[in-house]
Structure 1
Amino acid sequence: MRIGLLTEGGYPYLSGETRLWCDRLVRGLGQHEFEIYALSRTERQEDEGWLPLPPQVDRVRTAPLWTTEAATDGRTPYGRRARRRFADCYGDLAATLCAGGVGDPATTSTEGSALEADRFGNALYALAELARVEGGLPTALRSETAVRALERACRAPGARRAAREARVPDLLAVAAHLERALRPLSLDWYEDDALGAVDLCHAASGGAAALPGLLARHFFGVPLLVTEYGVRLRAHYLAAPDAPPAVRALLAAFHGRLAAETYGRAAAVTPGNAHARRWQERCGADRAKLRTVHPGMDAAPFTEIGEAPECADPGTVVWVGRVEPAKDLVCLLHAFAEVRAAEPGTRLRIVGTPAGAEGAAYLGHCRALAAQLFPDEAEGPHTVGDNPVSFEEVGGPELPTLADAYGSGAVTVLSSVVEGFPAGLVEAMFCARATVSTDVGAVVEVIGGTGLVVPPRNPRALAEACVALLRDPARRARLGAAARARALELFTVEQNTTAFHDLYLEIVSHTPVRRLVLDGAGEPVPFAAPAESHIPGRWAGPAPRAVPRGGPSWATGTTRTAGGFPAAEGA
């Protein structure tokens, strides 16, 4: 079958959250054909290029979400009827964000606000239909008409308090955010030779990535599968903490409504863990549609370390990950001070690279704290010397690979205060290492009784758990062996691709045939497009083309072949 893989800020680019699991999924499902529809987040991401693509990827179409459009004079560049229709549709969408009693959109969706949910969906699809007819919406979404429609919704009787308190700068900020979020409505992907020709849309995340899937379902009846390993709505709630309350409330309402619409229209939703599943249920996802599919990770690089009988240094505690405040290395350093007092010969290896400028500043703070906690053992504030705490990166002479980092110690620690799916924890489990983790995100689900779990921001509990494992080699060995067995059973690439292959078949088997092939006399041709015509290699010959529906070309995206060059006509 032909799969339209929808991504935002990830695959096929070299950087991004979804690039690794999407690449493993596509390579593991060589019996299917894939078309990639990718939204990029930054110019730098596009300049970095793509990952090498396997032969089952027929086409890649990209569109930027980061471009700054030219300023307008505030007018909507449509005819009178189109302007009126845009104002009505945008006003209906804005009204659902300001509806009285909404508060948290997730709460209203679970309490049965079907009327507002339908109104939001109808306004969204009406805007998409207008975009197809008028050649896109970017200018209209940035116009004075949009801002005034948003203002009227905020001032309408019954609007909630946060919306009524919005001032002109707040309205401009919200309108600008909605324009960026709704840019996928103006793409040229919704044609018979694009998303209309795929058998299934698979969105690699919620939010903007799922929007093209919603429109493909609306225009062509293409079924939609949504996968979330990190819930997009949760990320929006945590974003922009310094924004005015009115801006935060209106944007939270929009993303909550969009999440509820996505979950409601999807044929199936696959959370990556129980933590994400609870978020989705809270936002209105039907339990009957939810199928937990754990991320697939490559266990091969960790096989040698995982099968080794002994660790390199039984007196070393290891932390591996991206250095950023959410990882709470400050708590880990204070906990290690207590570990060092109980076990004087213990060492701590912090292995990782800083995440951006904030991570670099946090790393400098942690280095200084390590020198303060162990002043008699350090040569200086930014040198390792004899300090029992070392800050290292993978790729050096002592730690050439990631597996060597986990293998360099007896206990692996996760000290985060915020975590989604702890991929580093799974890597440690592949290496058969005993783990001590904080109870955040999906940690308990991943560990499953094969490691010790303590409350976050509790240095004493973290230290006591580490000391307990350092003093008991037999227990470390038992937990490590159990952890490796659990990881190989639940978190490998093979189980991930098998689960999605089964889901693809199940969804398509319940979807009516949508493409009608006609002969020269205009009569339907039964079985003219057999399933095997899509097998890579095209041994069955080219499939007959579906009946064209026509429609204007209002492209704003880029079409490329799998090799990265502009696609030829009809590619």
Structure 2
Amino acid sequence: MDNRPSRHRHVRIRSSRCEPPDQRRLPLREIGGALVRIGLLTEGGYPYVSGDARLWCDRLVRGLGQHEFDIYALSRSERQEDEGWVPLPSQVSRVRTAPLWTAEDDGVGYGRRARRRFAECYGELAAVLCAGPSEEPSALEADRFGSALYGLAELARDEGGLVGALRSEAAVRALEHACRAPGVARTAREARVPDLLAVAAHLERALRPLSLDWYEDDGLGSVDLCHAASGGPAALPGLLARHFSDVPLLVTEYGVRLRTHYLSATEASPSVRSLLAAFHGRLAAEIYGRAALVTPGNTHARRWQERCGADRDKIRTVYPGMDAARFAEVGESPESADPDTLVWVGRIEPTKDLISLLHALAEIRKEEPKTRLRIIGAPAGPEGTAYLGHCKALAAQLFPDEADGLHAVGDNPVSFGEIGGPEVPALADAYASGAVTVLSSVVEGFPISLVEAMFCGRATVSTDVGAVVEAIGGTGLVVPPRNPRALAEACVTLLRDPERRARLGAAARARALELFTVEQNITAFHGIYLEIVSRHPVRRVVLDTTGEPLPFAVPAEAHMPGRWTDSGPRVVARGGPGWAAGPPVRANTPLPATEGAR
């Protein structure tokens, strides 16, 4: 069933709101005694059917039923919006969405004073970017970037939006003026008009969250904490909620967004790359600096965050949680695997370096002629489709005598397939088809496929990239990337030694069950939520019968369900668990006496 809300226009960027009628904003003791109200911030993922971090967010929300969640989601495409949402659990009280992929001109006309404010703030932002990217930004540069960013956000709040201003000729002229100023970086000074237009267009897209109507007291101002499911655009609304309403921010990154930008901006000119790298670097530093806590998914991501300015005292590594039950049957019967088959599972794209794996197989078959390779996965976009075709052609070239049966298991040492077909109906079946799982990537974040193989009790051979070594510990063999000979030698070693395969597989499964389950992930975030809330005051206004505020009226135990929350004054929230923002409500009953106050 499609449970998307009907859309309607707001003053700023078009957004949607869904508040189920059976989940009114009541005291938390009336909706299950929730402890904390979380504003979950996503970009291109949950609650949409397709997108990044969808499964992780869904498991987190469902596993923390004692908390209440408001979801604020940025979509990446019209197709993603049309696909709809996943079914939402009862602890989700509200969903608000906005498109990051488009923004209609808001039609907001600035007066002279507003135009001057925009020119000053945007010019200051551009000046910081023209200084160039810096691995260790100074406090002065961070202050200048933050002041410019929040100045633009305040202007958007006062005037109704920034879309038109960010697309205006004034924005391009301010950027050009900053690039021509004395002392700027050489790459900024060399920027030409097409470069300036490209940078201005990118900044307009990146700053669209500033024009959203999410930051009032009936929006993110009413939550106890904001939890951004990634850095970058998803965390930007959390920054503004902290700025406007002092809501603490938690940032989780299983893939560092700044690293993703560096890898995806290779085709732009040097000037564009430099200016955009400076922007994303400053934004990452601002996010890490303002966050109450940062939770990387592995040490590899943690190192990136520390280099970008994250305080290591505010970092808590929380490994991704995965459903171990779906791999239990395969993991408990490792002897059923074909001892002569290698398995590769994942998205097919150039960074997976299947070319090296195919060359490695040619070397392996010189030593172990019975060895076969199963490549199981779907191509990632047009580039992945082209890469898959190249891999199939290379397999036919390397094994010409068997090329006629390229797609059938047994006719050729290399077979290509996808999960969901008759031969591989489920993900666990992919790992069950071979005795050794291989990862050949040259770029990797946290190796999900490797951990899945560990749950299945499989010995692994992988390249030393990303968080591979951290994930497998000592339970698999690791070789340098882009080295087919080393990959082949490691695979031959395991193919010839079934006892070692069994030992490594059993150790891998035990390690995965200890570190990478959904349960440990949920338990970790439950503790982190309570830790953050305990260090930030409850932001509520309590009025007595005369309309005067009552200080100290909401003690710390108000976060806990029990008899002390059953009576007492009504509370008005700019935030805090249990109450929605709204007009002040006067108390009709006196405050209950507390221990020690008699």
State the TM-score, normalized to the length of structure 1.
0.91
Residue among 57, 70, 83 paired with 2:92:
57
Residue among 173, 184, 199 paired with 1:159:
184
**1:547, 1:512 → 2: CA distance?**
12
Task: Give the drift of 1:531.
Answer: 6.6
**1:374, 1:87 → 2: CA distance?**
64
Q: 1:263 — aligned with what?
A: 288
Q: 2:417 — aligned with what?
A: 392
Instruction: Indicate yes or no: 2:121 matched with 1:93.
Output: no
Residue among 11, 31, 34 paired with 2:66:
31
**2:573, 2:421 → 1: CA distance?**
59
Using a 3 Å threshold, how does the CA distance of structure 1 residues 499 and 542 change in structure 2: closer, same or farther? farther
User: Given that residues 406 and 415 in structure 2 are in contact (C-alpha distance below 8 angstroms), is that contact kept between their aligned partners in structure 1?
Assistant: no
Q: Deviations over 1:497-529 (max 9, x none)?
A: 111111111111010222222234222245459
Task: Give the drift of 1:383.
Answer: 6.3
Using a 3 Å threshold, how does the CA distance of structure 1 residues 542 and 144 change in structure 2: closer, same or farther? farther
RCO (CA 8 Å, sep 6+): is it higher in 1 or 2?
A: 1
Task: For 1:404-483, list aligned pairs within 5 A.
Answer: 404-483=429-508
Residue among 85, 92, 109 paired with 1:77:
109
Task: Give the drift of 1:69.
Answer: 3.2
**2:530, 2:262 → 1: CA distance?**
35
**1:68, 1:519 → 2: CA distance?**
45
Task: Give the drift of 1:53.
Answer: 0.7
Residue among 218, 229, 232 paired with 2:243:
218
User: Given that residues 5 and 36 in structure 1 are in contact (C-alpha distance below 8 angstroms), is that contact kept between their aligned partners in structure 2?
Assistant: yes
Q: 1:345 — aligned with what?
A: 370
**1:210, 1:387 → 2: CA distance?**
48
Opposite residue 63 of structure 2, the aligned amino acid is G
- Please give the secondary structure, in 2, of the residue aligned with 1:310: helix
User: Given that residues 368 and 381 in structure 1 are in contact (C-alpha distance below 8 angstroms), is that contact kept between their aligned partners in structure 2?
Assistant: no
Task: Give the drift of 1:399.
Answer: 1.7
Task: Give the drift of 1:77.
Answer: 2.2
User: Given that residues 534 and 543 in structure 1 are in contact (C-alpha distance below 8 angstroms), is that contact kept between their aligned partners in structure 2?
Assistant: no
- Please give the secondary structure, in 1, of the residue aligned with 2:509: helix
State the TM-score, normalized to the length of structure 2.
0.87
Task: Give the drift of 1:384.
Answer: 6.1
**1:547, 1:489 → 2: CA distance?**
40
Instruction: Indicate yes or no: 2:572 matched with 1:546.
Output: yes
Using a 3 Å threshold, how does the CA distance of structure 1 residues 489 and 465 change in structure 2: closer, same or farther? same
In the alignment, structure 1 segments of 5+ residues that lack a partner are 550-568
Q: Deviations over 1:98-129 (max 9, x none)?
A: 12xx4x32x232xxx11111010011111111
- Please give the secondary structure, in 1, of the residue aligned with 2:442: coil
Task: Give the drift of 1:378.
Answer: 2.3
**1:315, 1:357 → 2: CA distance?**
33
- Please give the secondary structure, in 2, of the residue aligned with 1:180: helix
Task: Give the drift of 1:312.
Answer: 2.6
Task: Give the drift of 1:396.
Answer: 2.1
Task: For 1:122-521, list aligned pairs within 5 A.
Answer: 122-379=147-404, 386-521=411-546
Task: Give the drift of 1:547.
Answer: 6.2
Using a 3 Å threshold, how does the CA distance of structure 1 residues 39 and 304 change in structure 2: closer, same or farther? same
User: Given that residues 437 and 453 in structure 2 are in contact (C-alpha distance below 8 angstroms), is that contact kept between their aligned partners in structure 1?
Assistant: yes
Task: Give the drift of 1:182.
Answer: 0.5
**2:248, 2:324 → 1: CA distance?**
32
User: Given that residues 222 and 574 in structure 2 are in contact (C-alpha distance below 8 angstroms), is that contact kept between their aligned partners in structure 1?
Assistant: no
**1:67, 1:422 → 2: CA distance?**
32
User: Given that residues 518 and 547 in structure 1 are in contact (C-alpha distance below 8 angstroms), is that contact kept between their aligned partners in structure 2?
Assistant: no
Task: Give the drift of 1:84.
Answer: 0.4
Opposite residue 498 of structure 1, the aligned amino acid is T
Q: Deviations over 1:113-163 (max 9, x none)?
A: 111110100111111111111001110111111111111111111111111
**1:381, 1:309 → 2: CA distance?**
27
**1:346, 1:357 → 2: CA distance?**
31
Opposite residue 425 of structure 2, the aligned amino acid is P
User: Given that residues 180 and 189 in structure 2 are in contact (C-alpha distance below 8 angstroms), is that contact kept between their aligned partners in structure 1?
Assistant: yes
User: Given that residues 200 and 222 in structure 1 are in contact (C-alpha distance below 8 angstroms), is that contact kept between their aligned partners in structure 2?
Assistant: yes
Using a 3 Å threshold, how does the CA distance of structure 1 residues 10 and 210 change in structure 2: closer, same or farther? same
**1:287, 1:405 → 2: CA distance?**
39
Instruction: Count residues with an aligned counterpart.
Output: 539
User: Given that residues 220 and 514 in structure 1 are in contact (C-alpha distance below 8 angstroms), is that contact kept between their aligned partners in structure 2?
Assistant: no
User: Given that residues 106 and 161 in structure 2 are in contact (C-alpha distance below 8 angstroms), is that contact kept between their aligned partners in structure 1?
Assistant: no
User: Given that residues 543 and 569 in structure 2 are in contact (C-alpha distance below 8 angstroms), is that contact kept between their aligned partners in structure 1?
Assistant: no
**1:403, 1:544 → 2: CA distance?**
53
**1:71, 1:510 → 2: CA distance?**
39
Using a 3 Å threshold, how does the CA distance of structure 1 residues 135 and 350 change in structure 2: closer, same or farther? same
- Please give the secondary structure, in 1, of the residue aligned with 2:70: strand
User: Given that residues 10 and 16 in structure 1 are in contact (C-alpha distance below 8 angstroms), is that contact kept between their aligned partners in structure 2?
Assistant: yes
Q: 1:557 — aligned with what?
A: none
Opposite residue 69 of structure 1, the aligned amino acid is E
In the alignment, structure 2 segments of 5+ residues that lack a partner are 1-35, 576-581, 584-598
Opposite residue 29 of structure 1, the aligned amino acid is L
Task: Give the drift of 1:542.
Answer: 12
Opposite residue 429 of structure 1, the aligned amino acid is M
**1:545, 1:177 → 2: CA distance?**
43
Task: Give the drift of 1:543.
Answer: 9.4
Instruction: Indicate yes or no: 2:81 matched with 1:46.
Output: yes
Q: 2:31 — aligned with what?
A: none
User: Given that residues 533 and 542 in structure 1 are in contact (C-alpha distance below 8 angstroms), is that contact kept between their aligned partners in structure 2?
Assistant: no
Q: 1:552 — aligned with what?
A: none
Q: 1:5 — aligned with what?
A: 40
Q: 2:7 — aligned with what?
A: none
Task: Give the drift of 1:292.
Answer: 0.5
**1:306, 1:130 → 2: CA distance?**
57
- Please give the secondary structure, in 2, of the residue aligned with 1:379: helix
- Please give the secondary structure, in 1, of the residue aligned with 2:437: strand
**2:497, 2:574 → 1: CA distance?**
70
Report sequence identity in percent.
Answer: 78
Q: Deviations over 1:61-112 (max 9, x none)?
A: 000011153599xxx821111110110011111111012xx4x32x232xxx
**2:64, 2:509 → 1: CA distance?**
25
- Please give the secondary structure, in 2, of the residue aligned with 1:255: helix
User: Given that residues 436 and 453 in structure 1 are in contact (C-alpha distance below 8 angstroms), is that contact kept between their aligned partners in structure 2?
Assistant: yes
User: Given that residues 459 and 508 in structure 2 are in contact (C-alpha distance below 8 angstroms), is that contact kept between their aligned partners in structure 1?
Assistant: yes
Q: Deviations over 1:266-301 (max 9, x none)?
A: 000011001100100110111101111000000000
**Which deviates more, 293-302 or 15-24?**
15-24
**1:542, 1:70 → 2: CA distance?**
48
Opposite residue 89 of structure 2, the aligned amino acid is P
**1:140, 1:63 → 2: CA distance?**
19
Using a 3 Å threshold, how does the CA distance of structure 1 residues 178 and 545 change in structure 2: closer, same or farther? farther
User: Given that residues 7 and 37 in structure 1 are in contact (C-alpha distance below 8 angstroms), is that contact kept between their aligned partners in structure 2?
Assistant: yes
Opposite residue 440 of structure 1, the aligned amino acid is V
